[in-house]
Amino acid sequence: MAHGSGISAISVFASVAKLRQEPSFQWGEFHPARSGNVYFYVRQAEGFDGYLVAVNLGSSPSTVNFNADAPVGGQLPLPSSGKVVVTTGKFAGAGRSDAFKKDTTVEMSIVYLEPGEGIVLTWPPEALDA
């Protein structure tokens, strides 16, 4: 079954499963957080790419400022932007599927997610030094 953007559920699952091989998912600390309807977590092993995984679990849209709502009471540093690695493929309407397609840079200070939408963002370790 394909979502509105033509991405199948099995394709999303395969992409997410592949991420489990990344050092940050294997060894990085798990930092969960919630902002409104959006549950998200950050994982980054020292010296490796960082990842933010977010999904809107609610029944209404949410806009998240991941920088302000960062885990560990906002004390976990996050870069200003991240690159899209994986999405649920359900981003529809007004250019949203283009705005969240793979390898697109997304500003972490304002991410709008509809119910059921999910996204994985990444950044290089040096992004936190800027």
113 and 56 Cβ atoms separated by less than 8 Å: yes
Q: How many domains does the chain have?
A: 1
- By C-alpha distance, which of 102, 105, 97 is closest to 123? 105
Q: Is 122 helix (H, G, I), strand (E, B) or coil?
A: strand
| Residue 1, in any domain of the structure | no
Please give the residue range of the domain that contains residue 62. 9-129
Q: Which residues pair with 112 in a beta bridge?
A: 63
Tokens found for residue 59: 């029944």
pLDDT of residue 70: 77
- By C-alpha distance, which of 16, 1, 17, 34 is closest to 86? 16
| Regions of the chain short of the pLDDT cut 50 | 1-5
CATH, residue 41: 2.60.40.1180
| Residue 3, in any domain of the structure | no
pLDDT of residue 19: 77
Sign (positive/negative) of CA torsion 7, 9, 13, 16?
Answer: positive
pLDDT of residue 15: 64
pLDDT of residue 12: 58
